[in-house]
């Protein structure tokens, strides 16, 4: 009896594990994404089944067109999730030499606790105002803190700090012997190897861990300088420091579908209060035609040739939230329920958001489209 009970418990555990799964796919050509939270996965094109369900976030890497904004999703077990971002070539990166002419290596006056801040920074030839600097690091037990350095000069620098002792991340400013914490937050879940990125764009400072934006601050005390790496304790093991142009935020979209019900998510860089209009359309039955932001051919002023299934739903009979506003975080969301009609079964459409200026005068952008199947 005990053996049968244990066997039955094992079957139930296996069944629960199978139910707590979801199917994921990323669309957009070269796009790839990381999923963190209740679901943990790395997405790159092909569909895959991933264990886990619940609240999670999706983070995209930067490319030559910018960085697609992150998405926050609630994924029920057994869902099909499609995330998308527009395709673009990879960002042009270069390796930063930390041992060239004019490079700096040594301790600074400020300390982290009782430990001096050790810095290796590039020379004057690599100095500049803006840029995006990244590295991958494997943590050793002796490494207490690691930081990416921005705008290093004799006057000071900015630091994006990953502090293993305090389990937090920080943006700091060093000026002479003074160290000021500009912003701090709890550190995200960290693996054996971590990707860190520090972007400096004018007054905007941004720190990322594994493609997720973890800290942002505005500061203009230091105008220019060279990139580098700083640490406390033993010198960490990192791969080469790489530099790229700054990546502006751009739109992303996702559909979480279970049966005929689906939630459509978007994250856009347009200003809060802009209007968001949900659109479902069939794929075009012809070659690509250049169109303006409003969906018209620039010279002929002709409307869309491909049939549109849905543009908003004021009554809410098909989509709750299909006409709404962009919230302060840049997110938009609608709940869609497809009618269970024989003629509509096993059909597919493209779903995306049209963003209209707050006054309702013109379409200012359109998110990428992802497929929706019923």
- Could you report the per-residue pLDDT of 179-196, keeping only the tens digit for each? 899 999 998 887 778 899
pLDDT score for 155: 80
Please state the length of the chain: 374
Q: Which residues contact 158 (CB under 8 A, 6 or more apart)?
A: 149, 150, 151, 171, 172, 173, 174, 198, 200, 205, 219, 222
Rounded distance between C-alpha atoms, residue 56 and residue 312, angstroms? 27
The CATH fold of domain 94-244: Jelly Rolls (2.60.120)
* Torsion 268-271-272-276 (CA) sign: negative
- What DSSP line would sit under 110-170, residue for residue? EEETTEEEEEEE--GGG-BS-EEEEEEEE--TTEEEEEEEEEEETTEEEEEEEETTTTEEE
- Return the higher-pLDDT residue of 326 and 339: 326
Rounded distance between C-alpha atoms, residue 234 and residue 297, angstroms? 60
Rounded distance between C-alpha atoms, residue 247 and residue 131, angstroms? 9
Does 19 score more than 70 pLDDT? no
pLDDT band of residue 10 (cuts 50, 70, 90) is: very low
CB-CB contact of 220 with 69 (8 Å): no
Number of H helices, E strands in the chain: 1, 33
Does 217 score more than 50 pLDDT? yes
Alpha helix locations (H) across the chain?
2-19
Rounded distance between C-alpha atoms, residue 157 and residue 137, angstroms? 21
- Could you report the per-residue pLDDT of 236-293, keeping only the tens digit for each? 888 889 999 999 999 999 999 988 889 999 999 988 889 998 888 776 555 556 666 6
Residue ranges, CATH 2.60.120.560, the chain? 94-244
pLDDT band of residue 218 (cuts 50, 70, 90) is: very high
- Could you report the per-residue pLDDT of 164-176, keeping only the tens digit for each? 888 899 999 998 8
* The model's pTM: 0.83
Reported for 199-202, long-range contacts at CB under 8 A and 24+ positions apart, including other chains, are: 199/131, 199/132, 199/133, 199/246, 199/247, 200/129, 200/130, 200/131, 200/132, 200/150, 200/151, 200/158, 200/246, 201/130, 201/246, 202/129, 202/130
Task: Tell me what the mean pLDDT of segment 8-25 comes to.
Answer: 58
- Could you report the per-residue pLDDT of 287-326, keeping only the tens digit for each? 556 666 666 666 555 555 555 666 666 666 677 888 888 9
Please name which of 76, 25, 24, 21 lies closest in space to residue 54, comparing C-alpha atoms: 76
Across the chain, mean pLDDT equals 83
């Amino acid at each position: 009896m005990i053996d049968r009970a244990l066997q039955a418990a094992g079957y139930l555990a296996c069944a629960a594990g199978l139910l707590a799964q979801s199917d994921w796919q990323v669309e957009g050509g070269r796009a790839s994404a990381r999923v963190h939270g209740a679901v943990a996965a790395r997405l790159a094109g092909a569909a895959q089944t991933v264990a886990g369900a619940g609240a999670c976030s999706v983070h995209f890497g930067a490319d030559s067109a910018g960085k697609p904004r992150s998405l926050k999703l609630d994924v029920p077990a057994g869902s099909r999730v499609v995330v998308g971002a527009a395709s673009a070539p990879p960002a042009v990166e270069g390796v930063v030499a930390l041992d060239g002419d004019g490079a700096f290596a040594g301790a600074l006056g400020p300390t982290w606790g009782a430990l001096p801040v050790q810095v290796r920074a590039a020379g004057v030839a690599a100095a500049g105002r803006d840029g995006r600097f990244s590295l991958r690091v494997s943590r050793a037990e002796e490494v207490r803190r690691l930081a990416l350095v921005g705008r290093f000069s004799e006057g000071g620098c900015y630091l994006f700090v990953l502090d293993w002792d305090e389990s937090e991340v920080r943006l700091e400013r060093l000026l002479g012997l003074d160290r000021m914490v500009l912003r701090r937050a709890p550190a995200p879940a960290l693996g054996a190897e971590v990707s860190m990125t520090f972007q400096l764009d004018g007054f905007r400072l941004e720190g990322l861990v594994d493609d997720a934006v973890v800290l942002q601050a505005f500061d203009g005390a230091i105008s220019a300088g060279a990139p580098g790496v700083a640490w406390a304790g033993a010198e960490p093991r990192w791969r080469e420091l790489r530099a790229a142009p700054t990546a502006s935020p751009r739109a992303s979209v996702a559909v979480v579908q279970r049966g005929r019900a689906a939630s459509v998510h978007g994250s856009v860089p347009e200003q809060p209060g802009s209007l968001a209009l949900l659109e479902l359309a069939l794929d075009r039955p012809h070659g690509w035609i250049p169109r303006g932001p409003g969906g018209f051919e620039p010279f002929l002023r002709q409307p869309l040739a491909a049939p549109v299934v849905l543009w908003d739903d004021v009554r809410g009979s098909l989509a709750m939230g299909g006409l709404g506003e962009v919230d302060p975080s840049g997110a938009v969301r609608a709940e869609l329920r497809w009618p269970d009609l024989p003629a509509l079964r096993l059909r597919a459409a493209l779903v995306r958001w049209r963003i209209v200026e707050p006054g309702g005068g013109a379409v200012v952008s359109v998110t990428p489209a992802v497929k929706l199947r019923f």
